[in-house]
Amino acid sequence: MNVAALLAVLRPMLAPVLTALLAGCGAVAALSYLVMGAPAVTLDLPIGLPGAGITLALDGLSAVFLLVVFLASTAAAASAIGDHHYTETAPFLPAFVGGMALALVAGDGFSLLLGFEAMSVTSLVLVLSTHRDGTVRQGGLLYGGMAALGALSLIMVVGLLAQRGLSFAAMRAAPPEGWRAILVLALVLVGAGSKAGIVPLHTWLPPAHAAAPAHVSALMSGVMTKVALYVVVRVLFDLCGPAQPAWFGVPLIVLGAAGALLGALRANMEGDIKAALACSTIENVGLITIGFGVALVARGADLPALASLGAAAALLHIVAHGLFKPLLFLGAGAIQDGAGTRRLDRLGGLIHRMPVTSALLIFGAVNLAALPPTAGFAGEWLLFQSVLGAPRIGGFAVQVLVCVTAGLMAMGAALAAAAAVRLVGVALLGRPRGPRAAAAEEAGPWKLRAMSGVASVAFLVGLFPGSVLRLAGPALRTLTGAEMGERAGLAVLTPALDMPGYAALLTLALLLLAFGAIWFLRQFADLRTTRGPAWDCGFGASTARLPFGDPLTQYSGGGFSQPLRRALGHSILAAREVVSMPEPGDTSAARIEVTLRDPANAWVFAPFAYWRDKASGIADTMQFLTIRQILSVMVGVLVLFLIVIAVIEQL
């Protein structure tokens, strides 16, 4: 990948081609490694830290994530072939993919940090590809701040874990205990969780993912969040050792449930399709986090079957989401290129002008809405099964928590389905809301190839989720010490051996049968078109200026989400609607202004900003102290330091 980056510096147009080729080879390699049974391999390289070098390690867990990263990268890079807009930042694309791959195959703390930060920095540069736009710069700034915070926390995590050495083997030999384990849990949730979009550090995702070019946001939302989840999982499941208590997973469940609800709700409110998709990523990351949390709790309670179920569900959903989210983002990019905007209020009727893109987007949205027999459904269904199987663990508190989580998950899934309907209904169906949308152009051949490629892989995953879990067997053994085994069959996926399961192929057959029956009945139907005066669904009469009627009388994105906004947004997002009527005699239109506030902004970022201002105020007064006061402060600090030393000596 670094070679590709170097080559790409010389010939920017080559970057996507090379990245796609290398990532494709990487995907094949990862798949064949998994098929071979994923024997653990380590490789010591004499480069890196002086005297220590770096260690690369490959096992089943890294290979599953590598497979997802490489598949999505192949598609994303292929979609950028022939795209001349991003030649300035093209060399960073292979570097970005290489950083993610390095983070996944890292065998020590240093290479993990190196890969993770390479991923952060290159993705930041890629976000800033179109930096002449002010909102892009703002999104990039927010992202940069969060990335710095994450780097700080992750360095501390590595420092806390590396009691005997930087290599993963040395970290496993000295698992953290007591307050150190709690600190590791908190810091890894801040450090990697902020990158993954785990609440409450998720607020940077919608602006940054919307700002990046489509193929970059496809990677950031689809797989960079997964690399961050990999770090969470690697640290909490593997490096912290198997002896952690059951409550270790509770923060993951709580934060995941909050993210599932909040992300799905916000996905219904955003007016920008890419921002809405990024919010849906927050929801899916929340669901995956719940799965891992259940696995941690069950492993702590010594229930290997449930633990492997939770981890398997999370991994399956990672694979599914890592495929359909890049598809959706690439589709959103195609819409932006073809129809000139990402705003729902300007789109509409694209299914006539961009039929292939629309069909692929609808397939992605069906995944997003978790309808069978798609990969999205398989993942979410298994997640539900793991949570519904969880009340048997722990005491009353855990049981209540699990019940509430199941409720929130259900709500999140329903809201995600509503968001998918909103995206498809407003952007693709109906009639164009603007001239650019009416003159939209179908995406280029490479974009279509990339999207159909990733869609067909997602389709296969949806049909054979059991096979994916078979491949993930070594990973599950690393995580929970147990595999899905017979529960993950070729055709049927069951949460427990004696329970009924989910047969994707059978569902597809039933669906085909139903559609076949409809088609058959249609043969006998009267297909003549009849026209007549109708109520016209509120459309005004056509004028010369608007031959198809006024398209703005259709449901808009904001109008579609209004019921949800009024029902849920008021309490969760502090939604406010202000109708400003024009003065009498003024002919301008009345306006409705909707303001939303993410609770994380109100409860985390606003207090943080307040205390930062306080601290800078104190620092400011320090500047104007008198000479004696400054001397006194210095002497006071020195005396305090000596007192601390004296106290430590006495202990």
Interface residues with another protein (CB under 8 A)?
Answer: 624, 626-628, 631-632, 635, 638-639, 642-643, 645-646, 649-650
Q: How far is CA 126 from the centre of its chain?
A: 17
Closest distance of CB 641 from another protein, Å:
9
Structure tokens at 77: 């890079």
| Residue 638 Cβ vs another protein, minimum distance, rounded to whole Å | 7
- Asked if residue 607 has a cis previous peptide bond (ω within 30° of 0), the answer is no
- 498 vs 620 by CB, closer to another protein: 620
- Per residue, the 3-state secondary structure of 166-229, as one string, reads CEHHHHHHCCCCHHHHHHHHHHHHHHHHHHHCCCCCCCCHHHHHHHCCHHHHHHHHHHHHHHHH
Using the minimum distance from each CB to another protein, give the nearer residue, 552 or 633: 633
State how far Cα 462 lies from the chain centre.
Answer: 19
β-strand partners of 493: 488, 502
Q: Tell me the H-state helices in 354-395.
A: 355-368, 375-388
**CB 636, min distance to another protein, A:** 9
AA identity, residue 618: I
CB 623 → another protein: shortest distance, Å?
A: 9
The residue among 512 and 642 lying less far from another protein, judged by its C-beta, is: 642
Check residue 82 and report its DSSP letter: T
Minimum distance of another protein from residue 613's CB (angstroms)? 19
Q: Are 42 and 105 in contact (CB under 8 A)?
A: no
Distance CA 381, CA 320 (A): 12
Other C-beta atoms closer than 10 Å to the C-beta of 153 total 20
Closest CB to another protein among 45 and 625?
625
Closer residue to another protein in complex, CB, 578/627:
627
- In the complex with another protein, which residue's Cβ is closer, 529 or 650? 650
Helix axes 178-196, 225-233, angle to 10 degrees: 170
CB of 426 to another protein, least distance (A): 56
How far apart (Å, rounded) are the C-alpha atoms in residues 266 and 142?
18
Which residue lies nearer to another protein by CB, 10 or 627? 627
- Pick between residue 152 and residue 637 the one whose CB is nearest to another protein: 637
In angstroms, the CA 58 to CA 40 distance is 6
3-state secondary structure of 27: helix
Compare residues 514 and 643 and give the one whose CB is closer to another protein.
Answer: 643
Residue 400 vs 637, nearer CB to another protein: 637
- As a whole number of angstroms, the distance between CA 202 and CA 207 comes to 10
In the complex, minimum distance from the CB of residue 616 to another protein, in angstroms, rounded to a whole number = 16
3-state secondary structure of 442: coil
Which C-beta is closer to another protein: that of 571 or that of 650? 650
Q: Tell me the closest approach of the beta carbon of residue 469 to another protein, in angstroms.
A: 60
Q: How near is the Cβ of 618 to another protein at its closest, in Å?
A: 16
Nearest to 269 by CA among 100, 437, 453, 419: 419
Q: Which residues contact 328 (CB under 8 A, 6 or more apart)?
A: 277, 361, 364, 365, 368
* C-alpha separations of 504 from 253, 361, 376, 386 in Å: 28, 21, 12, 18
Q: Which of 122, 123, 286, 120 is nearest to 211 (CA)?
A: 123
Task: Pick the closer one to another protein by CB: 552 or 640.
Answer: 640
| Min separation Cβ 635 and another protein, Å | 5
Q: How far is the CB of 634 from another protein (least distance, A)?
A: 8
For residue 234, the one-letter residue type is: R
| Inter-residue contact 316 to 504 (CB < 8 Å) | no
Of the candidates 139, 106, 111, which has an alpha carbon nearest to the alpha carbon of residue 124? 139
State in angstroms the smallest separation of the CB of 630 from another protein: 9
Return all residues near 331 (Cβ < 8 A) that are at least 6 apart: 357, 360, 361, 364, 451
CA–CA distance from 419 to each of 125, 207, 266, 370 (Å)?
Answer: 30, 18, 9, 12
Residue pair 375/363 in contact (Cβ under 8 Å)? The answer is no
Half-sphere exposure of 502 (CA within 13 A, CB side): 23
Residue nearer to another protein on the CB measure, 517 or 625? 625
> First CA to last CA across the chain, in angstroms?
53
Which of 583/649 has CB closer to another protein?
649
The sign one gets for the Cα dihedral 303, 223, 64, 169 is negative
Q: How far is CA 598 from the centre of its chain?
A: 18
Q: Which is nearer to another protein, 544 or 619 (CB)?
A: 619
Q: How far is the CB of 628 from another protein (least distance, A)?
A: 6
Distance in Å, CB of 621 to another protein, minimum: 11
Query: Considering the complex, what minimum distance in angstroms separates the CB of residue 627 from another protein?
Result: 6
